[in-house]
Structure 1
Amino acid sequence: MTPATTPVQRPRDARLLVVDGQGRLNHAARSALPRFLRAGDLLVANDAATLPASLHGLHLPTGEVIEVRLAGRRSLAVDDVHEFTAIVFGAGDHRTRTEDRPLPPPLKPGDRLALGPLRAQVLRLLDHPRLIALHFEGTPDAIWAGLARHGKPVQYAHVPQALALWDVWTRVAALPVAFEPPSAGFLLDWGLLHTLRDQGVGFATLTHAAGLSSTGDDTLDARLPFDEPYHLPAATVQAIHATRAEGGRVIALGTTVTRALEHAARRGTLRAGPGVATQRLGPQSFGWLQVVDAIVTGTHEPGSSHHGLLHAFAPAALLQQVDRSLEAGGYRTHEFGDSVLIERQPVRRAEPASSRAISHAA
């Protein structure tokens, strides 16, 4: 697999590797996705718009150049924009590989940062020289205006040209809360949505603050994904229960949708409303997914947190076969790359009836 290097969300030659419920692999054009969905299914997407979460500026105590990448917050509330978790780098930009970026100047609580029109203060260090809690000064309106004027999308060296904000917004983007794009949704366009509707496939959304995919440090990357707030609408919960009642499948468009839905159902009841996804899905989750029957997502590199989540859908041996097929087929990775559709594989053990029983509580 090779990284996609141009910010084209829907390239004509985009590909889709389909893994059905029996573990069989099928190569197709990504535009053929509707062929692999059926009437009564429900596709759930993340409608989060992407923040311009990369902020360049100065560490005022030393005058040294820094880059702050916003990486987490407590809620999706529009006025809750004073405190963020952030990853901080020294001089440089996305043209340097993230893992080769220098550390920021030594930081301590109380240090002030000048980030374009914004002023911020280091609240505390979070057990790593690159990871801090950050407090923005000013009113929520001033903070939003500063982000809009000065911020840039977070990006990595595999895409050399600077990204514009419209490069990282999906067709269903709504509330700007994601730190990186929920890029599985790049495949969406209005023609596809019309095709799905005519085919009897439902469509619903939730909002999830998709986090960073890489910090450039193995120790920090091992903590990914960070805690991520989300909001699950009552209408989406109702659509999921109607799909279940009719024998349809719930198909998550992306890892963030999977994480939000499974967190919302973690106590056996799928609840609408706000939440903060704190759990990790991986091999330990195989056979215990409560809501999601299949996932459509990008082609992720083994070892990444996104790839780790796929182990909740399929055993390691099958995912290794998938990875070999993606490599042999020259599939493109990362946010502007190709896609996979993986249906949840059967479990080779008795599964408690309660593990698939979710009740409705909006």
Structure 2
Amino acid sequence: MQLSDFSYHLPEELIAHYPLASRSASRLLHLDAQGQYHDRLFKEIVDLLSPGDLLILNDTKVMKARLKGKRASGGAIEVLVERLISSTTAYCHIKASNSPKAGAEIFLGEDEIPASVQGRHENLFIVEFSQSVLDILEQYGQLPIPPYFNRAAEAIDTERYQTVFHNPEKLASVAAPTASLHFDEDILAALTSKGIEQHFVTLHVGAGTFLPVRVDNIENHVMHSEWCEVPLSTVMAIQSAKARGNKIIAVGTTATRALESAASAHQGELQAWSGDTQIFIYPGFKFNVIDRLITNFHLPESTLLMLVSALSSREKILAAYEHAVAAKYRFFSYGDAMLIDLSST
């Protein structure tokens, strides 16, 4: 399967650079199991799910992971914290005129907090901070909003680029699980009242989610690594729901990857699991856990577009996207949503 098979034309004006006034005011395109699509509103998600169904949500929290700074020589740098190793050490991306070498000292934030580059780990730098990484990020960092916003982070992003149900103790993502941004307290309460359970997994989203695929044959693509956890309580709830014939609805590609990683680690049987995942889901993948997916519209030729194509088919997804473009849906992180049913064919 070729990378170009997942291309589509998207007018620039359909990219959502800012969120709507209300989280749940988005539109919803429902792609059913037969490949037919239906124009809905996101608030109607309550009507599209059944009592006893399970929503699986990613409870990670986005760090203010982007730091401005300078080198000892005075040259400007930008540090993006990708992953915490300890309270004072992290894997980072560093943008500078020249790549810093091991032992290089850098200074971060307005108060020029010192840190040092310890070396490399694959394509990342190992940085030792002189204080708690999270404390530095909280005081000096900016939210690392997606590059296609074409703007710096603003005050509105502090609230709206976080889910309403994030776990404050799971502050480790550099991007939001954006399908979850549509859910507000009223929607969650309405789902609960209808008997639709909500359970959680954790996947700390890395900056690799924005990296382009650089191979023509997608089977040669190597996914970036991200840490995830599927707790026993969620596994037991899923098993109970499946036993009574209810559906498992993953909210977002991150929740999907966490669940399917946990199953793949146990020969297709879902069990409690935590660890690094590099799972790459594309057409031909056999889903072991989820029945439906709530997601946003994804970039052309992205691994996320490949994942949603595995649920339905490449042809049906691209046809739905063509309809969404014609109907002027809003795309990407602050855009509208899709509900995709696992294909019946």
Q: Which TM class, normalised by the smaller chain length?
A: 0.7 to 0.9
Distance 1:225 1:218, change over 3 A: closer
Q: Corresponding residue for 2:126?
A: 134
Instruction: Report the Cα distance in structure 1 between the residues aligned to 2:189 and 2:206, rounded to whole angstroms.
Output: 30
Q: Per-residue deviation at 1:173? A: 0.9
Instruction: Report the Cα distance in structure 1 between the residues aligned to 2:222 and 2:140, rounded to whole angstroms.
Output: 26
Q: 1:236-294: per-residue Cα shift (whole Å, max 9, x none)?
A: 11110111111111111001000110001112232224221121111241xx1111111
Deviation above 4 Å: which 4+ runs of structure 1? 217-220, 222-225
Distance 1:306 1:85, change over 3 A: farther
Contact 1:9 1:187 (8 Å CA) reproduced: no
Q: Corresponding residue for 1:312?
A: 310
Say yes or no: does 1:272 pair with 2:283. Answer: no
Instruction: Report the Cα distance in structure 1 between the residues aligned to 2:172 and 2:313, rounded to whole angstroms.
Output: 33
Q: Corresponding residue for 2:49?
A: 37
Q: Secondary structure at the match of 2:189?
A: helix
Q: Corresponding residue for 2:282?
A: 282
Q: Per-residue deviation at 1:334? A: 1.7
Q: Secondary structure at the match of 2:139?
A: helix
What TM-score does the superposition give when structure 2 sets the normalisation length? 0.85
Q: Corresponding residue for 2:138?
A: 148
What TM-score does the superposition give when structure 1 sets the normalisation length? 0.81
Q: Per-residue deviation at 1:124? A: 3.2
Q: Percent identity?
A: 25
Structure 2 residue runs without a partner (length 5+):
1-9
- AA aligned to 1:194 is A
- AA aligned to 2:335 is G
Instruction: Report the Cα distance in structure 2 between the residues aligned to 1:251 and 1:238, rounded to whole angstroms.
Output: 15
2:68 equivalent among 56, 68, 71: 56
Q: Secondary structure at the match of 2:255?
A: helix
Instruction: Report the Cα distance in structure 2 between the residues aligned to 1:25 and 1:309, rounded to whole angstroms.
Output: 18
1:198 equivalent among 175, 193, 199: 193
Instruction: Report the Cα distance in structure 2 between the residues aligned to 1:138 and 1:53, rounded to whole angstroms.
Output: 16
Q: Secondary structure at the match of 1:192?
A: helix
Q: 1:167-186: per-residue Cα shift (whole Å, max 9, x none)?
A: 32111011211111111111
Contact 2:89 2:129 (8 Å CA) reproduced: no
Instruction: Report the Cα distance in structure 2 between the residues aligned to 1:201 and 1:118, rounded to whole angstroms.
Output: 47
Instruction: Report the Cα distance in structure 1 between the residues aligned to 2:184 and 2:98, rounded to whole angstroms.
Output: 44
1:186 equivalent among 181, 186, 191: 181
Q: Per-residue deviation at 1:218? A: 6.2
Distance 1:316 1:84, change over 3 A: same
Q: Corresponding residue for 1:214?
A: 210
Q: Secondary structure at the match of 1:269?
A: coil
Instruction: Report the Cα distance in structure 1 between the residues aligned to 2:298 and 2:79, rounded to whole angstroms.
Output: 25
Contact 2:84 2:172 (8 Å CA) reproduced: no
- AA aligned to 1:57 is G
- AA aligned to 1:295 is L
Q: Corresponding residue for 1:171?
A: 164
Q: Corresponding residue for 1:107?
A: 100
Q: Corresponding residue for 1:359?
A: none
Instruction: Report the Cα distance in structure 2 between the residues aligned to 1:153 and 1:173, rounded to whole angstroms.
Output: 15
Structure 2 counterparts to residues 66-85 of structure 1, below 5 A: 66-73=77-84, 80-85=86-91
- AA aligned to 1:160 is R
Instruction: Report the Cα distance in structure 2 between the residues aligned to 1:326 and 1:303, rounded to whole angstroms.
Output: 17
- AA aligned to 2:98 is P
2:115 equivalent among 90, 111, 120: 120
RMSD of aligned residue pairs (Cα, Å): 2.3
Q: Per-residue deviation at 1:122? A: 2.7
Structure 1 residue runs without a partner (length 5+):
75-79, 91-103, 348-362
Say yes or no: does 1:6 pair with 2:2. Answer: no
Q: Per-residue deviation at 1:191? A: 1.2
- AA aligned to 1:70 is V
